[in-house]
């Protein structure tokens, strides 16, 4: 393809597939689709296509393969590593699944739901609730993120502890391959050992192997009892000990165990409307505990009370509160889910989505804190996340200064340097530099250095096999 970008005649051919009413060409209309949510990546594109069916996606990719036109799949545009953002240069066409947003079927007996790849996560949750079932994936962006993107990034969220991430929540897929071929793998079976599991090739592939246009998702019975508590703690070590007690006491009823620092509580109460600190005294650390039971509300209440009593008796808990209503439960979760957004008014923030073995979380955080502050004196570390599954969002806000705006750019310029410090400690602990956000552009180069040569070679072989023309989301995950 000419480096100047697709010719107008070729763009017209793409537009004819979906209809001109479902095409964006004006740069003002395209602008929201060209930038990643944190502003780290901004690309360019001459056109965005909105296919309305799997067949239209197929026709678009067939033409793209034949003409060597790069394609960037985009669902809710809520990704945090630039995987959904086109490159600069104007060659990449964006394929948006926003029109493909149907809930195709819900089967409460088999506990499955079939949805389009463009179905909004919140709509999937509501469709499950309508038949007294639960789809447990829960994200801060659930009102705008879409199932295809959730699958393509193997999204995790706050309920991984009990239900697993998207790989565990999916039974089957429908995928359009880069050649335009359609793979119908919408199987509803929990047991199917007939050859290679092709489904897992596309989950977490970030749109580099094809476009997910449909999915069979697992549903679960709605919990009968549900309770949420917040405990004030001295340290991550005490949080880990409390988590062990919670696991032993509650078993599978423990559906969330989140760790939050004092600075995170201060940020949310300062900047997020309606958020308040529910405990009267200040504490260095906090644990948000979520318990769901299948028999009764009384069981959930008894479990959380017993856990807090054990925590107080063991000297692990300084203070605690149990939500007395559904509204209070939601308020406690809102405080946790707003923590990342609450950092924005505090200036620049260098973020890390990492995971380490659960037992190593306290030592990882202590070592990382020491190294980061040594490199960036005054850095404000706001590390929080899913202690129960080992995923910590190790975020660092810029130091307070007389001119925060002017100093922000200099702080953000050290992103790679700080990443190397934190990721080095993560890897030494046997962890991962990407727990749930993916690789995208942000961690692409780093991936090539931390994975073994045979792993990288296998990934490249898979990419060539599925995408011989190299059109699918180029420049993401793998170094070109």
3-state SS record for the chain: CCCCCCCHHHHHHHHHHHCHHHEECCHHHHHHHCECCCCCCECCCCCEECCCCHHHHHHHHHHHHHHCCCEEEECCCCCCCCCCCCCCCCCCEEEECCCCCCEEEEECCCCEEEEECCCEHHHHHHHHHCCCEECCCCCCCCCCCEHHHHHHCCCCCCCHHHHCCCCCCEEEEEEECCCCCEEEECCCCCCCCCCCCCHHHHCCCCCCCCEEEEEEEECEECCCEEEEEEEEECCHHHHHHHHHHHHHHHHHHEEEEEEEEHHHHHHHHHHCCCCCCCCCCCCCEEEEEEEEECCCHHHHHHHHHHHHHHHHHCCCEEEEEECCCHHHHHHHHHHHHCCCHHHHHHCCEECCEEECCHHHHHHHHHHHHHHHHHHCCCCEEEEEEEHHHCEEEEEEECCCCCCHHHHHHHHHCCHHHHHHHHHHHHHHCCCECCCCCCCCCCCHHHHHHHCCHHHHHHHHHHHHHHCCCCCECCCCCCCC
Each residue's pLDDT tens digit, 198-251 = 999 999 999 999 999 999 999 999 999 999 999 999 999 999 999 999 999 999
pTM: 0.93
pLDDT above 70 for 67: yes
CA 391 to chain centre: 11
pLDDT above 60 for 171: yes
Query: Which residue is associated with the tokens 């780093």?
Result: 446
Query: Which residue is associated with the tokens 């089967």?
Result: 107
Bridge partners for 175 per DSSP: 183, 212
pLDDT above 90 for 262: yes
pLDDT above 70 for 263: yes
**Integer angstrom CA distances of residue 422 from 157, 387, 395, 416, 446:** 22, 17, 10, 10, 13
Average pLDDT over residues 331-336: 96
What pLDDT, on the 0 to 100 scale, is given for residue 37? 82
Each residue's pLDDT tens digit, 36-46 = 988 889 999 99
pLDDT above 90 for 96: yes
Average pLDDT over residues 467-475: 96
What pLDDT, on the 0 to 100 scale, is given for residue 90? 75
pLDDT above 70 for 145: yes
Q: 227, 323 in Cβ contact below 8 A?
A: yes
Each residue's pLDDT tens digit, 290-308 = 999 999 999 999 999 999 9
pLDDT above 50 for 2: no
Average pLDDT over residues 62-80: 96
What pLDDT, on the 0 to 100 scale, is given for residue 40? 86
- Average pLDDT across the chain, whole number: 96
Confidence of residue 419 (pLDDT cuts 50, 70, 90): very high
Residue 436 exposed, middle or buried by CB count within 10 Å (0-12, 13-18, 19+): buried
Return the structure tokens found at 304: 């959380």
305 CB neighbour count, 10 Å cutoff = 14
What pLDDT, on the 0 to 100 scale, is given for residue 396? 98
Residue 328 exposed, middle or buried by CB count within 10 Å (0-12, 13-18, 19+): middle
Alpha carbons 347 and 404: distance in angstroms, whole number: 7
Question: What region, left, alpha or beta, does residue 5 occupy, with left being phi > 0 and alpha being psi -120 to 50 degrees?
Answer: left
Average pLDDT over residues 359-383: 98
Alpha carbons 183 and 185: distance in angstroms, whole number: 6
What is the torsion angle, in degrees rounded to the nearest 10, for the CA atoms of residue 419, residue 370, residue 379 and residue 333? 80
pLDDT above 90 for 84: yes
Maximum alpha-carbon separation in the chain = 74
153 CB neighbour count, 10 Å cutoff = 29
What percent of the chain clears pLDDT 70, i.e. is strictly above it? 99
Phi/psi at 396 (5° precision): -130, 115
Query: Which residue is associated with the tokens 């340097």?
Result: 417
Asked which of 51-65, 294-308, 402-416 is least confident by mean pLDDT, the reply is 402-416
302 CB neighbour count, 10 Å cutoff = 15
Alpha carbons 260 and 343: distance in angstroms, whole number: 13
Residue 324 exposed, middle or buried by CB count within 10 Å (0-12, 13-18, 19+): exposed
What pLDDT, on the 0 to 100 scale, is given for residue 1? 39
Alpha carbons 195 and 40: distance in angstroms, whole number: 41
Alpha carbons 404 and 350: distance in angstroms, whole number: 15
Alpha-carbon Rg of the chain, whole angstroms? 23
pLDDT above 60 for 416: yes
Q: 170, 218 in Cβ contact below 8 A?
A: yes
What percent of the chain clears pLDDT 90, i.e. is strictly above it? 95
pLDDT above 70 for 4: no
What pLDDT, on the 0 to 100 scale, is given for residue 89? 84
Q: Which of 118, 117, 95 is nearest to 47 (CA)?
A: 95
Confidence of residue 480 (pLDDT cuts 50, 70, 90): confident
């Amino acid at each position: 393809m000419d480096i100047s970008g697709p010719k107008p005649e070729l763009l017209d051919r793409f537009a004819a597939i979906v209809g001109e009413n479902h095409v964006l060409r004006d740069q003002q209309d395209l602008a929201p689709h060209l930038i990643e949510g944190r502003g780290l990546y901004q690309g360019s594109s001459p056109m965005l296509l909105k296919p309305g069916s799997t067949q239209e996606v197929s026709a678009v990719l067939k033409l793209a393969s034949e003409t060597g036109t790069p394609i960037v799949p985009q669902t809710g545009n809520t990704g945090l590593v630039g995987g959904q953002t086109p490159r600069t240069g104007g060659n990449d066409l964006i394929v948006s699944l926003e029109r493909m947003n149907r809930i195709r079927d819900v089967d409460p007996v088999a506990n499955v739901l079939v949805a389009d790849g463009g179905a909004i996560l919140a709509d999937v949750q509501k469709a499950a609730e309508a038949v007294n079932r639960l789809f447990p994936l829960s994200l801060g962006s659930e009102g705008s993120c879409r199932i295809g993107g959730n699958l393509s990034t193997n999204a995790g969220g706050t309920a991984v502890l009990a239900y697993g991430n998207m790989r565990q929540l999916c039974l089957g897929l429908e995928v359009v391959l880069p050649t335009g071929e359609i793979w119908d793998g919408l199987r509803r079976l929990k047991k199917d050992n007939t050859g290679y599991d092709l489904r897992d090739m596309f989950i977490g592939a970030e749109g580099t192997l094809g476009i997910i246009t449909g999915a069979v998702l697992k549903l679960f019975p709605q919990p009968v009892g549900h309770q949420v508590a917040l405990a004030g703690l001295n340290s991550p070590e005490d949080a880990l000990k409390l988590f062990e007690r919670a696991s032993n006491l509650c078993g599978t009823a423990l559906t969330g165990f989140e760790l939050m620092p004092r600075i995170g509580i201060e940020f949310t109460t300062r900047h997020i409307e309606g958020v308040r600190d529910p405990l009267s005294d200040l504490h260095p650390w906090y644990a948000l505990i979520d318990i769901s039971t299948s028999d009764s509300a009384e069981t959930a209440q008894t479990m959380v009370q017993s856990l807090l009593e054990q925590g107080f008796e063991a000297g692990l808990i300084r203070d605690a509160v149990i939500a007395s209503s559904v509204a209070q439960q939601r308020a406690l979760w809102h405080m946790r889910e707003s923590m990342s957004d609450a950092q924005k008014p505090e200036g620049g923030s260098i973020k890390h989505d990492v995971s380490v073995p659960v037992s190593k979380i306290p030592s990882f955080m202590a070592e990382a804190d020491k190294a980061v502050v040594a490199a960036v004196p005054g850095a404000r570390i706001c590390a929080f996340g899913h202690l129960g599954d080992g995923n910590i969002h190790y975020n660092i806000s810029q130091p307070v200064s007389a001119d925060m705006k002017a100093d922000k750019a200099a702080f953000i310029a050290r992103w790679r340097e700080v990443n190397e410090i934190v990721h080095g400690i993560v890897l030494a602990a046997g962890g991962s530099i990407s727990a749930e956000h993916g690789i995208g552009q942000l961690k692409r180069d780093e991936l090539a250095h931390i994975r073994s040569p045979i792993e990288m070679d296998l990934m490249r072989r898979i990419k060539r096999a599925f995408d011989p023309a190299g059109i699918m989301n180029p420049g993401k995950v793998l170094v070109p």
